Amino acid sequence: MQAMTDLPDVSDFDEMLAAAGIIESEPTYIVSGSGTGWFYSVEKKTMVCVPRGTPVYVLEAMSGSRKTMCQAGNEIVYIPGNEILEIGWN
């Protein structure tokens, strides 16, 4: 029988699952509200429509600014921080 010495040293169950690749190590965020929102696209340099409730990946919180750079679908957009809702590890 082989000993399990190659496992990472984790004390928290969530950390163990993340280390095994079973769950994400970052919480899930969505655009809050209902309907659609218009946000500035970094790549297109114009406003794009993003459905509210869309999962977003937070890329960079701008210091000194209320905007947060996020990936929403295929778009990289700036979204006001108060319109991003953390829903946890779902």
* Cβ contact 81:61 at 8 Å: yes
Q: How many CB atoms lie within 10 A of CB 26?
A: 11
Task: Yes or no: say if 62 and 69 are a contact pair by the CB < 8 Å rule.
Answer: yes
The reported pLDDT for the residue numbered 78 is 95
Mean pLDDT score of the chain, rounded to an integer?
Answer: 83
Task: State pTM to two decimals.
Answer: 0.68
**Domain 27-88, CATH among 3.40.50.970, 3.30.420.40, 2.30.30.40, 1.10.1740.10:** 2.30.30.40
pLDDT in tens, 33-82: 999 999 999 999 999 999 999 999 999 876 667 899 999 999 999 999 99
* pLDDT-based confidence at residue 5 (cuts at 50, 70, 90): low
Place of tokens 């990946």: 57
